[in-house]
Each structure stands twice: as C-alpha cells, then as structure tokens.
Structure 1
Amino acid sequence: MRSIDILTTLATATLLHSAHGARPRPSEANMTAPKVILDNDWGIAQFIPYLIALDAGWDILGLVSDTSDSWALQTGLHALATLERGGLSDCIPVYRGADYPLLQTPNRFQAYEALLGTLPWEGVFKRENITAEAEGGDPTSGDPGRIVRAAFEMPYYGYPNATFAEDTPAAMFMVEQVRKYPGEITIYSGGALTNIALAVRMDPTFAQNTKGLFIMGGYVDRMVQQTTGDVFQASLVSDINFVVDPEAAKIALSAAFPKITLVGNAANLLISTQEFLDEIYEVKNPYSELVHAYYGTGLPFWDETAAAVMVDPSIVTDSVEFYVDIDTAYSSPYYGYIRPYQAALMPPGLRSVSYVNNLNLTALASRIKHSVQYPKGCADLASL
C-alpha cells in the first residue's frame, strides 16, 4: 500500500507541477536536433554515453541518475563531477533518481543469494565494505543517502561544486519533458529501469509519447556463459541493470514505447584495451585524461555501445525482433532474467523489441574515440 501511495502522490504532484528547466540551456535554441534524456548509474569514467550523444549533435535535455552499480545519489554526483570537469555543468542538468528499486533491497537481495546462489556481479547490493570505500570505492548496501567522498579525491577529478537540478525527482522530470516535447524524446537507459518504470506508472501516456527506448541490458544466454567461463566471465553477463530491479524492467519492457531496442550480448563485443586507451589519450583533454586513468582494461564498452546504437543505427550489422518478458518470481533461480519468445509460443500481453546481435566494431570504436578526443562544450551547443 505504501508503494501505491508514493506513486499516487508523485503523479498528483506531476499534474500540478508546471513544466520548467533547471537552468537556461544553450541548446534550447536548437529545435531540430534529436532530443534525449540519459538515465544511468554514472561513474568516474562512465560519461562517454553523453559525449557520444553530444558528438552526434543530439540535444541532451538532462541526465538522470539511478541505483544499479551504486546508489543514485553517488552516481548522480559522479554525473555532476564529470560534467563539471568538461565544462558542461551550465548546459546539462542532472536529476537525482529513486534511491531504491521498486521492491529490491540489500537484505532481500542477499537473502535471495543465500537460497539460490551468488550473482557474479552484485552491483549496489554487494555487502557494505568500509575499507573499499576508504580507498575510493563507491558505496554499496548500507545507507543509500551516504556519500563516499574518497571516490572523488583522485587526480583529474574532484567533488562537484554543481548541484542537482532543483528538487525535482528524476521520474517527474522525464514525465514533464515528454509532455513538453511529445513524440520527440528518446529515453536512454544504461542502468536500472526504476526511474523509467516510475514515469510509466505516473503518466499512462508517457511511454507512447516518447520517440523510443534504448536499453543496455538483456543477456539471452546468461546460463551458458555463467557455467562455461570463470567467475570474471560470468560477471560480464550478470545483467545487473535488470537484476537490481526486475519489476521495473518488466514494467518498462511491457510499456507502449513506439520502439524498444535492447543492446545486451552485443554490448560485450568491444573490449577496452590499453592500446585503445593510449590511442584515445593521444589527444589530451579532461575527458581523455579520465578515460585513460580510470576506464580500465578487459571490460566491455557496455553503455557506450548502447549510446552509439542509439545515435547511429547504421553500425548495427545484425538484429532480430522478438517478444520479451522478465522473470519476476522471487522464488525463481532466474529472477531478473530476460525471457525471449517467438510470436507462436509467447504468453499473452508481451510486446516485441529489437535485439541487437552484431555491430561494426570499427565504426563503434571510432565513434567512442572521436567523442572523447573532441568533446562538445556549452559554447558548441549554443551555436547549434
């Protein structure tokens, strides 16, 4: 009952709340550029998706933080810090997302693991580790409202001076913007789908009035990869963005978005190497410094791949349409797993998505490299 009351209160507040922006944005003069809201669990080097959108000439209405790898407060502060580092704080607002998933909590998640096995990558629900946080690790479990400043006390980085946009919850911001620009806004999700699910429930016209939804997540062969590789390989397909909030993923994937694109397995195709990071760093700027120092090697360009597919569908070399569902049975060993169907075998009420299978990796790497080496600034956005 409490969850219903919260949703009702938010929906009522949205109806009474007049549409507004957090601050003047130079890009408001650009009426023809594609519009996007980027929802992600931002980190110290997880800013490339918004650089890709800017590089492609897209109009970023705002960034939204969510709880997935860490709590939404901490990931939002990372978004503010990276924008500030690149001189983009004055033209791209950041909205704080919901602290908790719709149902999941650290205790609930850890109880599930005790019964049905450990998830290789536990994200925000990894047990609280004060030692790791003192060394600069983002907070996990514990209090979602606490801030770990050590995560910002590094070379090339710093705790942000900029603040979240007003006091507007992320889901409310998305609803307001879609009402302001019906049919024009693409929603990008690189983290959990909590904020998007809340927006869908707050406004029954929200999903249908967007331009579409792009999601990083949805690994269709998790079971095979989690048994045939080592623990690190298994962690790469943990699908934490869905597992952190399976109920939100189910709501989002059944909503009336004009088009939903899933970038799951394909997001693991381009792996970060030291050679590529060194290549990016041949052009020195605040963002290339952060990427070179903190992105790390051996990990896929997950969120970057989904952003590149969003702005340039031509890099997709193979995709398929199928119907999807998310297992939301807490007692299931596949809680949070994606379940794909063909039309002849699916249960009623599902909708189809476009699932990306393969990509032009040369074009993807080139887009990532260019967006980091030559990042757009507020002055560039004002001149569009």
Structure 2
Amino acid sequence: MRRLLIVAASVVALCGGQHSMAASPPPKIIIDSDFGTLNDDGQLLAIAAQLQARGRVEILGLTLVSGNKWLRQETAEALKSVERLGIAQQVGVYAGANYPLSHDLATVRAEQQMHPGGDGYLGAWSRPEPRSDADLVAPPDGYASHTELREQSAAEFIADSIRRHPGEVTILAIGPLTNIALAVRRHPEIVPMIGQIIYMGGAFDVAGNTTAAAEFNWWFDPQAAREVLGLPVRHVIFPLDVTDTVKIDKQVYDRVVYGAARDGIIARLFKQLNGYGYDGRNGFETNPAYSTDVWDTLTLAYLLDQGYARRTVQRWVEIDTRVGATNGRSIGHATAQPGLQPATIVERFDNRRFFDFYVDGLTAAVPVAPSPAYTVEGK
C-alpha cells in the first residue's frame, strides 16, 4: 500500500508540475509594425491570433508606424485584419508615427541617386502619401465594417502598457522604430520596465536590401534605431544575416495554400498576395523556382522557443545616422563599446521546425469574420 501511495504521490507531483507550467501566464506582446494585409507583418499577426486562441500569447495591441506603406494605408489594412481574424475586441489598433525622426523625401532621393545599391526598395517613399480615404487601396476582402482605431496614440499605448505590466512586455519591433523612440522620449521612466525588444532589422555581415549598407526597417528611420538600440534593455535581433537563409519555397507555399485550410480566407489571401509576386506575374503560381524570405515571423517563433535559434552571437550595436552611403548601416562590435548596448544577434535558424510552426499558424482554424463576397478575380 505504501508503495502505491509513493507512486501516486510521484504522479501527482509530476502532473502538478505540468499543470503549473501550463498555468503560467502567456507572454504579453505588443506588435509594432509597418503593416500589410498578408505581408510578413500580416502573417505574424495571423499566427499570433492563432497562438492567442490557444492561450500561448497575449496580444496587448497592434501599433502602426509608416514604413512599408504610409500610415493611413496601413491603418485600413490593419483594421480589416483584426476584424477578419475575429480579434478586434481583444486587440486594439493604435496609429503611430507617420514620418521618421530622421530622413525625408529629399534626402532619400539624394541617397538613391548618389549611392545606388541594394534592391532600391523605398517602401512608403516610393508612392504618394494618401491624403484622404479616397486615396486608399481597399484590402482584397473590403474595408473593416465595424472596427475603428483606438483613441490613444501608439507611443502612449506602448508606454501605458509597459507601466501596467512592468518587466512583462515583449515588443516585437518588426518595422521602423519611431514609435518606440517616441514612447521613450516622452516617458523615459518606462525603460527599466521593458521586458525585452525582439527586432527584425539590420544587416551585419551581409549586404543591406534597400541600400548596399542598410536594411529597410532601420534605414527608414536611422535616428530612431540608434536611440532604441541604445536603451539598456534586453535586445534580440533578427537581421538579414538570418532572414536571408529562411525562405518560403513552393513546397511551403503549397502547404499553406493547398493544404487542409485551402478554403480559408487566410489561404486565399496568401495565394493572391504571394502566388503572383509583387508584380502580379512572377510568383509561386507562375514560377516553380520562385521564393521569398520570411522576415518578421521568426521573431514570434523565437519568443515562444529560443531553441529555434541555432546560432547566436553577442554584439554591441551601433547605427550609422550620417546622411550618405552608409545611412542606416548597422555595425556589430564584438567587444563592449562606450555608449552601446549588447544585443543577441540570431545568425541561423531551425528552418525545418520553424516552417512546421509557420504553416500551422497560417492554416489552423482561427475564428474569422465571414466574408461571403470574397473573390480573387482572374486567379
């Protein structure tokens, strides 16, 4: 009898331990994003919504910053996205900075003319800024019907969230860093309360994409990047060094589009926005050799399991803010430097395991708003 009691006690202890682990609160995140319907930012939100439904993360809010597109266009797409995913009541959308702290159109054009290189991607700078709703491009399944922006600005929301949850908030910084810089400028007392910032940004030992020297997110607002990366908080960086090595290929694309959830809205949007490429002609549906990088969603996977990172290094990070060929360049020093903060830089990822996570997040059942009129014309 005593032996049975000991065994039973051991089982209870084991189950109790498992229950305690399961009962630990999910990580609290703010997604700070230059948002697009189902670009890398939109994909991260869709996966995060799935994780929230499973109780694995708590999305405090989605904050928007101009980058890939201008703020007004991003807002229209973000409002529809939270509505589409059925999380509009839980996850507020907060408008942030429309312009960077540094960089303006004249400087951008001068840099491109004098210092060509990279792929020349300029994001919002490559198109006219929308001045009214009439200038917007509607999401493929239409505008949000009942979801509105929250009144608070992105910077104020970030500051308030960190004050409410000191030490608990992870900011997934997957766009230019203007909102975070503004939050800290206005409320410097929040700095020691920030749990961590996980970035998609920078290029250290590989070429940049927008220019030969700089990755887009940090190039868009180098001053903000310099200020935020100089904060004495925990920094984890996913630069082009690793994102260049994690690519969606036709096999992964087919798993998302033609898998079990092929009739879902996310699969259909994924097909429309990735199947035909940025030019509408060269994509997974027309070119079997086509591929594209993943970028932002790596940050979310790492948040849940640091084991996805196969190789990391510690560097003290500096951002070049001089106007010219090196504007926005990220420099990683191997030893401590005065005035710089250390960061964990991810260099290699567990691609096979990550893509299981990625496909599951985009295809598993998520409560979504019905879209009976949705069609993909000509596709």
TM score, norm. by length of structure 2: 0.78
Q: Which moved more, 1:39-48 or 1:211-220?
A: 39-48
Worse overlay, 316-325 or 86-95: 86-95
Aligned-residue RMSD, C-alpha: 2.5
State the match for 2:315 in structure 1.
322
Write the letter of the residue equivalent to 2:88.
Answer: S
Moved more, 115-124 or 72-81: 115-124
Shift of 1:208: 1.9
Tell me the equivalent position of 1:371. 361
Q: Which amino acid aligns with 1:219?
A: A
Matches within 5 A, 1:114-263: 114-117=113-116, 120-127=119-126, 140=127, 142-143=128-129, 145-147=131-133, 151-152=137-138, 154=140, 157-223=141-207, 239-257=215-233, 259-263=234-238
Number of residues paired by the alignment?
323
1:110 Cα shift?
1.0
- For structure 1, which segment, 193-202 or 287-296, has the greater mean C-alpha deviation from structure 2 after superposition? 287-296
Give 1:87 deviation, angstroms.
2.0
Q: Which residue of 2 aligns with 1:136?
A: none
Shift of 1:109: 1.2
Aligned to 1:382: none
For residues 148 and 361 of structure 1, do their structure 2 counterparts lie closer, same or farther at Cα, with a shift above 3 Å needed? Answer: farther
Shift of 1:325: 0.3
Is 1:334 matched with 2:326?
A: yes
1:85–1:287 CA contact under 8 A, matched in 2? no
The answer to whether the 8 A contact 2:214-2:330 is kept is: no
Q: What is the CA distance between 1:92 and its match in structure 2?
A: 1.3
1:291 — aligned with what? 270
What is the distance in 2 between the residues matched to 1:198 and 1:234?
Answer: 24
Alignment pair present for 1:279 and 2:271 = no
SS in 2 for 1:206: helix
> Contact 1:80–1:164 at 8 Å: present in 2 too?
yes
Paired amino acid for 1:316: A
The equivalent of 1:133 in structure 2 is none
Report the Cα distance in structure 1 between the residues aligned to 2:161 and 2:68, rounded to whole angstroms. Answer: 26
Cα–Cα, structure 1 residues 104 and 375, in superposed 2: closer, same or farther, change >3 Å? farther
Alignment of 1:95-110 (within 5 A): 95-110=94-109
CA displacement 1:295-345 (0-9 Å, x = unmatched): 345210111122212222111111011101000111x4111000111216x
Q: How far did residue 123 of structure 1 move?
A: 2.7
> What is the aligned partner in structure 1 of residue 351 from structure 2?
361
Task: Give the distance between the partners of 2:24 and 2:130, measured in 1 at CA.
Answer: 38
Distance in 2 between the 1:234 and 1:244 partners? 9
Distance 1:83 1:236 in 2: 35
Q: Using a 3 Å threshold, how does the CA distance of structure 1 residues 153 and 329 change in structure 2: closer, same or farther? A: closer
Q: Does the 8 A contact of 1:120 with 1:238 survive in 2?
A: no
1:65 aligns with 2:83: no
Identity, % of aligned positions? 25
2: distance between equivalents of 1:162 and 1:256? 40
CA distance in 2, matches of 1:145, 1:97: 16
**Cα displacement (A) at 1:161:** 2.2
Shift of 1:200: 1.4
Quick one: distance in 2 between partners of 1:153 and 1:106?
A: 26
Is contact 1:80–1:162 with CA below 8 Å preserved after alignment?
A: no
Structure having the higher Rg: 2
Question: What are the superposed Cα offsets for residues 24-63 of structure 1, whole Å, 9 maximum, x if unpaired?
Answer: xxxxxx9822100001111121322123334441000110
Alignment partner, residue 19 of structure 1: none
**Other structure's SS at 2:63 match:** strand
The answer to whether the 8 A contact 1:171-1:199 is kept is: yes
- Give the aligned partner of residue 53 of structure 1: 48
Letter in 2 for 1:350: L
Alignment partners' CA distance in 2, 1:70 and 1:54 = 22
One-letter amino acid of the counterpart of residue 85, structure 2: G
1:306-321 → structure 2 map (5 Å cutoff):
306-321=299-314
- Contact between 1:89 and 1:162, CA under 8 Å: does it hold in 2? no
Change (3 A) 1:125 1:234: closer
Does residue 268 of structure 1 match 2:244?
yes
> 1:131 corresponds to which residue?
none
Q: What CA distance in whole angstroms lies between the structure 2 residues aligned with 1:213 and 1:92? A: 19
Query: Aligned partners of 1:378 and 1:234: how far apart in 2?
Result: 35
Rounded Cα–Cα distance in structure 1 between residues aligned with 2:191 and 2:270: 34
1:310–1:108: structure 2 CA closer, same or farther, 3 Å change rule? Answer: same
Q: Normalized against structure 1, the TM-score is what? A: 0.77
Given that 1:105 and 1:125 are in contact with CA atoms closer than 8 Å, whether structure 2 keeps it comes out as no
**What is the CA-CA distance between 1:238 and the residue it aligns to?**
5.1
Distance 1:237 1:45 in 2: 27
